Amino acid sequence: MSAAPSHIWVRAEHRPDERRVGLTPQGAAELIAAGVRVTVEDCPRRAMPIAGYRAAGCEIAAAGTWPDAPEDAVIFGLKELPDDGQPLRHRHLMFGHAFKGQPAGRALLRRFRAGGGTLYDLEYLVNNEGTRVAAFGYWAGYAGAAVALLCWAAQQEGTGAGAVRAYDSCNHLLADVQTRLLATGTHRPVAIVVGALGRVGRGATDLCTAMGVPVTAWDIAETAGGGPFPQILAHDLFFNCVLARPGTPVFVPAASLHMPRRLTVIGDIACDPYSDFSPVRVYDAVTTWEAPSLRVHEAPPLDVMAIDNLPSLLPVESSEDYAGQLLGTLLDFPHDRSGTWARARATFETQAEQV
């Protein structure tokens, strides 16, 4: 185990539409009380105002100054770093998306190797049972189902899905989706959620229930046979809530585009089209807030929603939820009683050796 993090540096997010943060002012105050130095970069887009961190006793730094942080600082962010090719010398805590064969991930690992730094990938912080200690999954599912329903509503109106934006709260999101669905009439689509028992699936199901959308809930038992899964094509919407990994069945193969189907919208909430193990094989690129859906077939239409930072549509709820889950593990970094940090470092070292 490397030296304990006497200093956590919360960086400003590089992506313009990313408002989430993995540490709240309250959590920062607990770290400081435990003897950890906390620096937070100023970022006006962040859902948590900088004044709260200042009041908690954090040091405040200008956005983007983390490359000059002290050597012992752990740089804590969520999404991708600037793609400038610079070697990375610090320990970084972030979602690297680098361990499943992604081309951009390999480039990131080469930067760590060049600088001698370490990636503690947030997706690979797991307990002794192999369960992630913290995840944005619930709010990813909730927001992803909402955006997919907006895409479906746009289909009914014969238009493309318009740009999406961050909401002040989930109540504001619910009101917006309800208004759009009511504009299409009284008919409601029928959805199937695969991975329904997990955090992502529960979020998607809860949103659908709130909108009066019937849900077929599938999990491991229903997909254990490995497919094909014609039942998916018999629904209006399919929500993939299963992370891509070796052995994941292919739920929607490329051939589905030319099969008889009722399916017109896929919400790939797990969203890993660049992985060799992606279970949705009808598209190959993420979608964006500006263009949330990708038309992959015209007649009958099939649109894919695959935004890769869905929880940021609800930045306050998702940040508070995630930060609360993660705080205990951050506080345990010096001791690593459950081996979470050692496992994450070992995963990184194994992957870095292969690039």
Query: What is the Cα 185 distance to its own chain's centre?
Result: 32
Nearest-angstrom CA–CA distance, 96 and 329: 18
pTM of the model: 0.87
Active site residues: 79, 97
pLDDT score, position 165:
94
Evaluate if residue 5 carries a pLDDT over 90: no
Return the pLDDT at 1: 42
Tell me how far apart the alpha carbons of residues 63 and 65 are, in angstroms, rounded to a whole number.
6
* Mean pLDDT of the 271-293 span: 94
Percent of the chain with pLDDT over 90: 89
d(CA 97, CA 94): 9
Give the best-scoring range by mean pLDDT among 51-60, 98-107, 346-355: 51-60
Residue type (1 letter), 152 = W
Secondary structure of residue 312 in the 3-state scheme: helix
Domains of the chain, first to last: 7-128+317-352 (3.40.50.720), 137-306 (3.40.50.720)
Q: What is the pLDDT of residues 103-155, one digit of tens each?
A: 889 999 999 999 999 999 999 999 999 999 999 999 999 999 999 999 999 99
DSSP string of 49-95, one letter each residue: -HHHHHHTT-EEE-TT-GGGS-TTPEEE-SSPPP-S-----SEEEE-
Classify the C-alpha dihedral 170-171-172-178 as positive or negative: positive
Which residues are CB-contacts of 334 (< 8 A; sequence separation ≥ 6)? Answer: 4, 5
Using the predicted structure, report yes or no on whether residue 304 has a pLDDT greater than 50. Answer: yes
**Residue 101 pLDDT > 80:** no
Does 2 score more than 50 pLDDT? no
Which pLDDT score is estimated for 155?
A: 96
| Residue 335 CB burial class (10 angstroms; 0-12, 13-18, ≥19) | exposed
* pLDDT, tens digit, 9 for 90 and up, residues 51-74: 999 999 999 999 999 999 999 999
- 4: confidence class by pLDDT, cuts 50, 70, 90: low
Torsions phi, psi of 22, nearest 5?
Answer: -95, 0
